[in-house]
Amino acid sequence: MSIEVKNITYTYMAKTPFERVALKNIDLTIEQGEFVAIIGHTGSGKSTLVQHLNALLTPTIGSVLVDGNDINTKNEAAKTARRKVGMVFQYPEHQLFEETVYEDIAFGPHNMGLSEELVENHVKKAMEFVNLDFAEYKDRSPFQLSGGQMRRVAIAGVIALNPQYLILDEPTAGLDPVGRKDLFKKIQQIHKKEKIAIVLVSHNMDDVAALADRIIVMNHGEITIDAKPKQAFSQIEKITEAGLAVPHMTALLEQLKQKGLAVDTTPLTLSAGVDSILAAIRRRK
């Protein structure tokens, strides 16, 4: 069970004077249950890449397979495969369009041909996941909710599809720190509980260091790093070339090392970094 990206190249406005190659020879496999973060500067190709994972874009060259099915073919197997991949855009509240919260979240399950009873079960489960009380919110207009609540409704609409692969393109953009922390906590919960694959596109290095178990760095339409977080962020030269910064803890540990403290620079979180600093100080005594 996996998403396989096989040697894809994508060109915007191909065969025109304005053509631009956005992706170059991308090979990538995302296994079910993984938590993968894709990072890169603006224009690096990360959003273009994830839009290929559920056939929002069709590769100029190459193919994308979901559980062995080419999702860009026109058959029932491809249609079923595409439904396994849910996408939450950068401002998911822009995905809202129905008159009530219930109807918006139920739109996807209805299109899957589910019975009304199953649709309601999917909606209730999705609303519970995003902390929206079913009885209180189901009949309200999504456009009369707060920005944070609208975002939760939009995410619930994707969760209601029961995706096996969940793509999140900068899902916390514009949220305050509390809202961002709450959303990531929920994403971690569904990842662990449902064993679905999470693909997170983000520019926040501290977030991806804390959440992901695999980091993919993109630069000029190519993958330059594909490794576990510690190994990825230890490649500081490539990170810098990609126009990115390392997590704050990594930067601090590197500075201490340059000042002469023999500290392990691989920790990424605050607690692990503090332990590394204390261990280095004890060794000096």
Q: pTM for the whole thing?
A: 0.86
- pLDDT over 70 (residue 19): yes
- pLDDT over 90 (residue 198): yes
- Per-residue pLDDT of 53-70, as tens digits, reads 999 999 999 999 999 999
- pLDDT over 90 (residue 5): yes
pLDDT of residue 245: 85
Confidence of residue 34 (pLDDT cuts 50, 70, 90): very high
DSSP-derived pairing of the beta strands 165-169 and 61-66: unpaired
pLDDT of residue 46: 93
Give the 3-state secondary structure of the chain: CEEEEEEEEEEECCCCCCCEEEEEEEEEEEECCCEEEEECCCCCCHHHHHCCCCCCCCCCEEEEEECCEECCCCCHHHHHHHCCEEEECCCHHHHCCCCCHHHHHHHHHHHCCCCHHHHHHHHHHHHHHCCCCHHHHCCCCHHHCCHHHHHHHHHHHHHCCCCCEEEEECCCCCCCHHHHHHHHHHHHHHHHHHCCEEEEECCCHHHHHHHCCEEEEEECCEEEEEECHHHHHCCHHHHHHCCCCCCHHHHHHHHHHHCCCCCCCCCCCHHHHHHHHHHHHHHHC
DSSP-derived pairing of the beta strands 69-70 and 61-66: antiparallel
Average pLDDT over residues 168-188: 83
- Per-residue pLDDT of 242-259, as tens digits, reads 999 888 888 888 888 888
pLDDT of residue 6: 97
Domain ranges of the chain: 2-245, 247-285
- pLDDT over 70 (residue 195): yes
| Mean pLDDT estimate for the chain | 90
Angle at 265 between CA 260 and CA 270, to 5 degrees: 115
CATH of the structural domain 2-245, one choice from 3.40.30.10, 3.40.630.30, 3.20.20.60, 3.40.50.300: 3.40.50.300
- Per-residue pLDDT of 64-117, as tens digits, reads 999 999 999 999 999 999 999 999 887 777 888 999 999 999 999 998 889 999
Asked if 160 and 126 touch (Cβ cutoff 8 Å), the reply is yes
pLDDT of residue 276: 83
Give the CA-trace dihedral at 208, 212, 213, 216, to 10 degrees: -60
Percent of the chain topping pLDDT 90: 55
- Per-residue pLDDT of 122-168, as tens digits, reads 999 999 988 899 999 999 999 999 878 888 898 899 999 999 999 99
pLDDT of residue 178: 81
